[in-house]
């Protein structure tokens, strides 16, 4: 494969690139990343000689077309996005620019190069939230986003579906639950808990900390994407693949587990005013993706230890 990975210097994209280079040394990879605050090119330092790295914007259609043509790209894996819900509440416009117009730009490229397979990485947040008793969402359930972030991702997904129907491009959408692991931007929930706990500062927990998330270790997510990329017919009819770990945890329990690993007291937990529109729970039915032979390999406990260790090492450097 000749793959263009967008957002490959961010959290999930960087793990995908590192694993793909190791597992498929004969593939060629071009990474396109705008290098926003969430990116760190250093995550890719061990493979920079084996890939082509371009700093640029997915909304720059001319640039992406040039890259596709020059490097004979046959597959795009699209991780590029603005991703922090709280930022989207303060200022939605960067989210619309990248998550909607950026996706539209990549679809223009796919129109111009119809042999490309486009894997668009999306999120469980497009469905909105569930109550404690709701069944996990299935791939064809209606979208009902709550935050500007989720609405921008849902818009991107709808544009992909429309492009498949109208222009016949080859695309698939993956939707996953909350990822965790090394390389995640410091403002996200688990890195925030680790960072503030290490500093002995109050750890901000929204409301009573009872909101639930399903936690998927980042490399398990990347492995699921590889399975999709090698599944015959995956790109034929805009299939939607769910990726989840069935490991739901209350936020407060995640924070307590981190404190336990770090040997820090629970008195650091500090309850703060809830996020506006805060979704209660997400859950995805990933049985179809599992039927392709994928399953998560890293338990929540094991993944959390690895994650805490990575941030702890980074903090002492
Ligand atoms: P991230 O914020 O860590 O990284 C995003 C990357 O995209 C960064 O490297 C950034 O520089 C790059 N980028 C942003 N705008 C760009 C643009 N216009 N052009 C090129 N590059 C641009 O995000 P992440 O957590 O790695 O998420 C990757 C994808 O997975 C996103 O689409 C996100 O919606 C989705 N997702 C993430 C999670 C999660 O828990 N992290 C859960 C579900 C879905």
What are the φ and ψ backbone dihedral angles of 15, each rounded to 5 degrees?
-65, -40
The stretch 298-312 carries a mean pLDDT of 97
Residue 12 C-alpha to ligand 1 middle, in angstroms?
A: 7
**Of all atoms in ligand 1, which is nearest to the CA of residue 37?**
11
Tell me the CA–centroid distance for residue 154 and ligand 1, in Å: 14
Q: Decide: 121 in ligand 1 pocket, CB within 6 A.
A: yes
What CATH superfamily classification does 2-183+215-247+283-297 receive? Answer: NAD(P)-binding Rossmann-like Domain (3.40.50.720)
Q: Looking at residues 49-64, what average pLDDT do you find?
A: 98
Our answer on whether the CB atom of 176 is closer than 6 Å to any ligand 1 atom is yes
d(CA 309, CA 234): 36
Count the helix, strand and coil residues of the chain and give each as a percent rounded to the nearest 5. 45, 20, 40
Distance CA 280, CA 143 (A): 16
Report helix angle 61-70 to 103-112, nearest 10: 40
92-100 average pLDDT score? 98
Q: Is the CB of 113 under 6 A from ligand 1?
A: no
Instruction: Give the model's confidence band at 253: pLDDT under 50 very low, under 70 low, under 90 confident, else very high.
Output: very high
Q: Is the beta carbon of 190 within 6 A of some atom in ligand 1? A: no
For the CA of 98, the nearest atom of ligand 1: 18
Ligand 1 pocket: which of 4, 6, 10 to mutate (most atoms <8 Å of CB)?
10
Mind telling me the catalytic residues? 124-125, 149
Average pLDDT over residues 264-277: 95
Tens of pLDDT, residues 108-158: 999 999 999 999 999 999 999 999 999 999 999 999 999 999 999 999 999
Ligand 1 pocket check for 225: Cβ under 6 Å: no
For all residues of the chain together, what is the average pLDDT? 97
Whether 38 lines ligand 1, by a CB cut-off of 6 Å, is yes
Domain residue spans of the chain: 2-183+215-247+283-297
Q: What confidence tens digit (pLDDT) does each residue in 162-201 have?
A: 999 999 999 999 999 999 999 999 999 999 999 999 999 9
Query: If you measure from the C-alpha of residue 265 to the centroid of ligand 1, how many angstroms do you get, rounded to a whole number?
Result: 33
| CB atoms inside a 10 Å sphere around CB 188 | 18
**Which residues on neighbouring strands pair with residue 270, listed in sequence order?**
204
Average pLDDT over residues 53-65: 98
pLDDT of residue 316: 75
- Band (317; pLDDT cuts 50, 70, 90): low
Residue whose CA lies nearest to ligand 1 atom number 1: 10
What are the φ/ψ torsions at residue 157 (nearest 5 degrees)?
A: -60, -40
Give the percent of the chain with pLDDT over 90: 98
Supply 24's token pair.
């498929």
**Does this model's pTM top 0.85?**
yes
Average the pLDDT over 39-50 and give the result.
98
Task: Say whether pLDDT at 315 is over 90.
Answer: no
Atom of ligand 1 nearest to the CA of 32: 20
Can you read off the two tokens belonging to residue 245?
A: 């770990």
Two structure tokens written together for 37: 């605050």
Q: Is 181 in the pocket of ligand 1 (CB under 6 A)?
A: no
For a ligand 1 pocket test, name from 12, 120, 125, 173 the mutation site with the most ligand atoms within 8 angstroms of its C-beta. 12
Q: What is the pLDDT of residue 229?
A: 98
């Amino acid at each position: 494969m000749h793959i263009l990975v967008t957002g490959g210097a961010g959290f999930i994209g960087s793990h995908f690139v590192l694993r793909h280079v190791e597992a498929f040394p004969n593939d060629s990879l071009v990474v396109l990343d705008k290098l926003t605050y969430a990116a760190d090119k250093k995550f890719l330092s061990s493979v920079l000689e084996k890939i082509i790295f371009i700093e640029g914007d997915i909304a720059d259609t001319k640039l992406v077309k040039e890259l596709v043509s020059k490097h004979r790209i046959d597959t795009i894996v699209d991780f590029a996005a603005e991703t922090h819900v709280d930022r989207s509440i303060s200022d939605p416009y960067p989210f619309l620019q990248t998550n909607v117009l950026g996706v539209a730009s990549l679809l223009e490229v796919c129109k111009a190069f119809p042999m490309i397979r486009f894997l668009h990485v999306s999120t469980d947040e497009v469905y909105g939230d569930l109550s404690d008793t709701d069944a996990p969402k299935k791939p064809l359930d209606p979208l009902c986003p709550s935050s500007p972030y989720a609405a921008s991702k849902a818009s991107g997904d709808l544009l992909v579906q429309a492009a498949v129907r109208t222009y016949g491009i080859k695309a698939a959408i993956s939707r996953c639950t909350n990822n965790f692991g090394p390389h995640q931007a410091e403002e996200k929930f688990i890195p925030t808990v680790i960072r503030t706990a290490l500093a002995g500062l109050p750890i901000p927990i929204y409301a009573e900390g009872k909101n639930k998330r399903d936690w998927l270790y980042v490399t398990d997510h990347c492995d699921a994407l590889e399975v999709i990329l090698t599944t015959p017919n995956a790109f034929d009819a805009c299939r939607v693949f769910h990726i989840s770990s069935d490991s739901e945890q209350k936020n407060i329990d995640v924070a307590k587990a981190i404190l336990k690993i770090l040997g820090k007291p629970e008195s650091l937990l500090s309850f703060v005013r809830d996020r506006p529109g805060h979704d209660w729970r997400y859950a995805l039915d990933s049985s179809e993706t599992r039927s392709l032979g994928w399953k998560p390999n890293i338990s929540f406990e094991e993944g959390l230890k690895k994650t805490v260790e990575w941030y702890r090492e980074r903090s002492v450097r």
